[in-house]
Structure 1
């Protein structure tokens, strides 16, 4: 396989063999009239077919193999097609390499006791931990030793730093107005929102645990300064409505609404009517002030 390299040109060779076999079938049908016997005793046409096949294939194979050998030693120098390293490919390579390093460390710790199942479980826990970090959820460390926990935390730190760095680099590119794919912009916005929510949640949690950051004495001081400032300005006291005026207010609102409805039924369209309607709206918006003005009069 590796020496001849025919497996690289499998489909071409298979196609040619199929053609030869089809010719063989035609000859078999024509010459083999006695259907009982499998071989019809005439080998010349078959031999001729396969001979010509080998004659045709041998120079082709020679050319293919020479190209393969030159490519093997010198590489694809003359080829126009060049493999572009996309961002997705770079990201996957980085992640694979990081996981490889982590698994090597894991194998060093476990030594001979580690099995394939152990590595699978470990990779699963790593993925779960990373998902928890992205979603800003608490990661449960059930039945995991301290050494493995340290490894996972190390992996999370490295990957999170890389994740944050790449998002901010992309955001900077977008801000500058450089050419970027729409998909990348969408992904970047998603990442940025995720990071923002994470930071905000952490801030709120810190405030709940450690806050409030202002001392009680500072609050009192601020309150005293504010009260002194109000006295200097001579700010008038805001009078709250009395509960005894409830029925009066209701009667006023009802009477105003009745007047409004009567005017609408009459269907008067004039300047006076418009002014009255505006006044009625003002009364309905501020019933306390109107009641106060009526009582004062």
Structure 2
């Protein structure tokens, strides 16, 4: 598009900014409660309903607690909730069998939510780090994160979550070939309608620190995740990864983190025109929330930050601010 320009004073840009009504009429993007996915943490170890220290206002909940959260979300019009488990350390092993147990914490929470609030979409996380004694998203042997063996485990995890009733599977592991393997297994098992929202462009970011505290993976992690998560310097690689995941059967794609990677969100949407999401990750939340609580910025930054995602082409955002934003939008 070539902008059309009328010279001043025939054109005064401020004419369309002089009242809230005019500003609303010419707004190029809208932020809606329907754009939100609410990430919640579930646990069955002591300490539920206590704030995560690095994420003020965010708590780990019992299964009953996440059911109440789902009821709250549905009442606010939030269309989806995403579950992340804080697994009992005694259940974490190097082979991660708990990840695909039908009765693991995440699968029990899915079944409980779908029984109580069937209208809300439940998204799950597919990665081994909540179940891994090494804290990694994949199986580790001799210090190496194994790709193909991990994919086999992730497929079992995906099938268990689909059987539990998950609507949206969120593979966040960044192993090569996992989307194709999951899609083939889901089709073969009769789960043809289960949706995959692939974390296609997930960067090896320092913004994930508070999340690792929330799921109990920080202390267990040995080394870093740079051999499977993306280099923050790369943009073209993100488009190649998105293209691959779409070709393998992903229905939607994710960019993670969010605001530091708005250029990637825009490039993905422009290049592929598919449902594109971003995750306003724990570090982003912690920075904004901390600054608000200290009086350094006004809480208006919450809505402003989410509008940035919409302007960059995102169809929706995972954000810990979801309930607060929904209340504000509902007025």
**TM-score, length basis structure 1:** 0.20
Q: Which has the larger radius of gyration?
A: 1
Hey, which of these two has a bigger chunk of strand by percent? Answer: 2
**TM-score, length basis structure 2:** 0.19
Hey, which of these two has a bigger chunk of helix by percent? Answer: 1
The answer to which structure, 1 or 2, has the higher relative contact order (CA under 8 A, 6+ apart) is 2
